[in-house]
Amino acid sequence: MTRIGAAFEGARRERRAAFIAYLTAGDPSPEATLGLARAVSRAGADVLELGVPFSDPIADGPVLQRSAARALAAGTTLATVFDVARRIRRETSLALVLFSYVNPVLRFGVAGAARAAREAGFDGVLLTDVPPEETRGLHPAMRAEGLDTILLVSPTSPLRRMREAARLSSGFLYVVSRAGITGARTSLPRDLPETVRRARGAGGSLPVAVGFGIATPEAARQAARIADGVVVGSALVQAAEAEALDREGAVESLARRLVDACRRGPRAPK
């Protein structure tokens, strides 16, 4: 079992959804990212998606676009992300997912990137702009290094496409809660339970995690009732952005509330 699989299994035994945090590597510096990773780890996060900043982040909303711009301005490259991951692996027990658009991986070299990711301590890879039809030249190299491969499905994905994405995924299947770009929202879409139900039908025993738009403990609580994992990115990045003098404190405080909201049953906060 990979570290990602163990994280979901541990959460299941504890009657909660796994909490998956996202941070943009290098925003505003590698040292700051390490501190924020420590913060989400202290808060009880299970998995950390470490984002590779990219100059044309077509799936990202304004918060993550600004975050990527700051990281790029600081000189962050894919090699920098591997260095940051190596330090996070030494200092935390978080399962780590390399979260990237495909261009930086292609520029680095697919086989080399897969090897470097494994050596840095990553446990899985999620390439946001790679559909199931385009994984053939990418995923075998990742799997050869023992990395989980994670694909996205959305409310508009037909069942056949969900099944193909699930077949190519390991670790978990990522359900995008709504069409469009990332960003904090005040509520979850009404059709999300049906989207998750279809994803479960497509994936069998593969864990299902929900992300895009989850920003508050109440939204996390709702998502945790229907999914195996809850992903939060923009809200955490925005908290760090708004509290420059105490980024770690702001992120840890929000992450703790989100982790608590992922608990099910009588222990869940009212």
| Alpha carbons 178 and 188: distance in angstroms, whole number | 8
To which H or E segment does residue 164 belong? helix 159-168
Amino acid identity of residue 245, one-letter, is L
Q: Under a CB-based contact definition with an 8 Å cutoff, are residues 125 and 102 in contact?
A: no
**How far is the C-alpha of 155 from the C-alpha of 171, rounded, in Å?**
20
How far apart are the C-alpha atoms of 256 and 245, rounded to whole Å?
19
CA angle 191/187/236 to nearest 5° reads 120
Please pick, among 27, 46, 49, 228, the residue that the annotation labels catalytic. Answer: 49
Q: Which residues are within 8 A (CB) of 160 and not within 5 positions of it... i.e. 6 or more apart?
A: none
What DSSP element (H or E) covers 148?
strand 148-150
The catalytic residue among 27, 60, 252, 260 is 60
Q: Which helix (H) or strand (E) holds 106?
A: helix 102-108
Give me the count of residues in the chain: 270
60 catalytically annotated: yes
Which 8-state DSSP code applies to residue 182?
-
Residues with active-site annotation = 49, 60
